[in-house]
Structure formats: structure tokens, C-alpha cells
Structure 1
Amino acid sequence: MTTIAEEVLLLALSEREGKQLVGSTDLGVALSGALLAELVIDGRVGLTDKKIAVLDPTPLGDEELDAALARIAAEDRPHKPDRWVYKLRSAKLRGRLLTRLAERGVLGEERSKVLGIFPRTRHPELDPSVERAVRERVREALAGAATDERTAALIAVLHAAKIDRKAFPDVDRRAFKEIAEGHWAGDAVSKTIASINAAAAGGAAAAAAAT
């Protein structure tokens, strides 16, 4: 069974070439938001007074989820969801998830060099049935079928990171918004992306003023 983070990643890559469809910042935040959402759905953490609290520290048997759970459990005070989405994001998370999917035969791994110098790795799809099942689940929910917690969280994260626009270009954005609106995971991802972009813009403005 794929995790929500793996599902987000599959939908954020082009099927034929395995090219990333959105920026690294948006995707990185979406992946950490997906980890947090999965921990909530699995009953390991929950929202208490609008902050994340550990409910059950028992490991789930998944390296990424267990590492995130351990980090939350080790914190000396609770944080809001968007703060945890920010703290859990990692530049290496995407690579680790890609490796897992490649090891399971879902994705391939093609290494090459751009201009004969710069290394590049792409992950074309080898087993399309995995992503196809995810897409069918999402489309059924968007069409009005009963939506489970995992699918609702997935849709909320995709919408917040604007991955939905690339992964489902033929679907009316209002269908995504209707399910995603008010979902805590989507809100946390949106706030985190906005804060990172604001900080980057502020840094650029400060640098420009200094010169």
C-alpha cells in the first residue's frame, strides 16, 4: 500500500519522463504535509486545541512516518499543523520516496548528464497500475462519491500545493476546492508555502536594497 506522500509524489511527476511538474518548494511542503496527514489518519497524532499532539507513539513500521512521529513525540511543546509541516519538510525526503518507489518497481531510474556535465536523474513510470488506482480514487471523489479520510487529505494537499492543476488539467478546479476547503492539512500546506515564499521575497528585497 502506498502512503499519501508517495501518492502525492507520483501525481507530481510526469508519467513518461518522470519530470517534476511543480516547484521543489511546493512539492517538498506537500510531501511533509502528507506525512503529517497520514499520522493523524492512523491515529498516532491528533489536533488538540488546534495544535498537534501525540496520541499513540507506537511505530507504524514505515521509516518516514515513524521518523516524523518520533520527532513530534520528542518536541517539548506542541505546535500548530503548519509549523509541523514546515519542520518536517526535508530536501532529501523526495529522493528517499523516489528510491522506495523504484525499489518496488513502481518507478524506473534513468541517470544522464545535461550538456555532458550536469548529472540528471529521471524516474519514468514502470508500473502504471499504482498511479492509475490513485487517480481513479481521486476522480471518483471529485465526481461525488463518498470520500474517505485518506482521499480527502490527498486532495487537500494536492490542491494546496497546486499539483492538481498539473496532474488533473481536465478537472474543474472547483471540484478540488469543494473537498479541500477547510481541510486542516490543506490549510497547513498553503500557510507553509505562503510563509516560505514571503520569506524568500523579503530576503530578495533586502538584498536588492543593500546593493
Structure 2
Amino acid sequence: MKVTIAEELLLLAYSEDEGKPLVGAVQLDPALAGALLAELAVEGRVELSDKKLVLSGAEPLGDDELDAVLARVAEDGKERKPAWWVQRLQSAKLRNRLLTRLAQAGVLSEQRGKVLGLFPVTRWPEADPGVEAEVRERVASVLGGADPDARTAVLIAIMHAAKLDRKAFPGASKERIKEIAEGAWAADAVAKTIAAINAAAMAAITAATVAATTTSSSG
């Protein structure tokens, strides 16, 4: 089945058996927003112009989430920095929509329960391991030295931004991850656009992490 880069990120971000996230929402939500924007860049719908994200093609891609973001960029009509869009797009609602979509497709299963009999919690264990297995194989090949295609490079860079890379692939080379995350896999306009989006996602994650740490320490 065809899944978005954001959905590939989610498959790697949740444990297969227990369906628990390996990183917190503070890291994951901005990364998902960045993944959607980066996929639009890969598909030639947005590009970087004077450090701003601009529309380069308005034809829908046939995916509800990607097309919704594309429509928002088109309707906004202003040239804005990638960081502005990451902040606007990230949300728990986006994460839950993507998880629900994977569950409806039979890739994940949705299990609702309560912690300590009081607090509702939803787990997302794997139902069909084939989709994640293909993603893992692709990523592992690139981390092992193979030339990445744009989608796989984006996924690795976004994983790095979310601090998920070493959790999902514990044995991966830090140098190789950094090389891909910094856009060394290509030297064209698409790579520059994606690098800017990744930087925006990483900045949002860092800011949110600092805010969360400050709040918890002051409390």
C-alpha cells in the first residue's frame, strides 16, 4: 500500500508489539508536520524562494492529508518561512488522524484502555508488519551506504530531527545519519527546500523540549 512519509515516520516511532511511542509528542508532532511539507517538496508542489516556502505546483496528489496542506498553502497566498508552516500544521489531531488512517488500512490496530483504571490511553500495535518491514529495509540499506532516493533521505532526516533515528535504528552510524540529514545526498533545489523544512522541524522540537523542561522544573 502507498503510505506518506509522515506515516512511515509513525510506523517507526511506535513499538511493534505494544504500540507505544518511542519519542514524545513534543518531538513527534513537529516532525510529522515537517514530513508532510517535505513530501510536497519531493513531489514538486512547494519550493524554497528567498528562504520562504512558495507554491510551485497546485495539482492535488490524491492523498487527503497532503492535499489539505497543499490547499492551505495555496489559500494562504503568502510566502512564509518553513518554520511558520511547521508551527501551524503540527498538532495531536494530525498525529491521531494519521494513526487512525493506518489502523483503518489494517497496518496498525487501535487498542483503547485505561492506565490505573482512570486515564484513557490508546495503543497502536502493528497488525500488518509488511509495510514497516519494507520501510525498515529501505532505510537500513541507505544507512548502510546505499544512495538514498529523496523519500528515504527525507525520512532519515526527519527521524534525526525527532531524535528517533538511534531509537529506531540503534546500530546506525551517527556520521551517516548526519550526512543524510544535512542534505549531502543531493545538491539541487529540492534538497535545499527539504533541508530548510528539516531545520524548521528541528528548531520547533528544540523549542518545545526546552519549554516542556522549563515548565516541569518550575513546577
Q: Name the TM-score, length of structure 1 as normaliser.
A: 0.91
Contact persistence 2:35–2:158 (CA under 8 A): yes
Question: What is the DSSP-based 3-state SS (H/G/I as helix, E as strand, rest coil) of the residue aligned with 1:9?
Answer: helix
Alignment correspondent of 1:130: 131
Partner of 1:160: 161
Q: Which residue of 2 aligns with 1:85?
A: 86
Within 1, Cα distance between the matches of 2:84 and 2:110? 33
| Structure 1 stretch displaced more, 186-195 or 104-113 | 186-195
Task: State the Cα distance separating 1:10 from its structure 2 match.
Answer: 0.5
The whole-number CA distance in structure 2 between the counterparts of 1:186 and 1:25 is 15
Per-residue Cα deviation, 1:130-187 (whole angstroms, up to 9, x for no partner): 0011011111111111211111111110001101121111222222111112433321
1:178 paired residue number: 179
- The normalised TM-score by structure 2 is 0.88
Q: 2:119 is matched by which residue type in structure 1?
A: F
| Aligned equivalents of 1:15, 1:120: Cα separation in 2 | 17
**1:187 aligned partner:** 199
Amino-acid identity (%): 57
Structure 1, unmatched stretches of 5+, are none
Task: Give the residue type in structure 2 aligned to 1:192.
Answer: A
Give the alignment of 1:10-159 within 5 angstroms: 10-159=11-160
SS of residue matched to 1:92: helix
Task: Provide the rounded CA distance (Å) in 1 between the counterparts of 2:77 and 2:127.
Answer: 43
CA contact (8 A) 2:53 2:79 kept: yes
Alpha-carbon distance between aligned partners in 1 of 2:116 and 2:158, rounded to the nearest angstrom: 35
CA–CA distance in structure 1, aligned partners of residues 208 and 115 of structure 2: 29
Distance 1:194 1:175 in 2: 22
Shift of 1:17: 0.6
8 Å Cα contact 1:83/1:192 also seen in 2: no
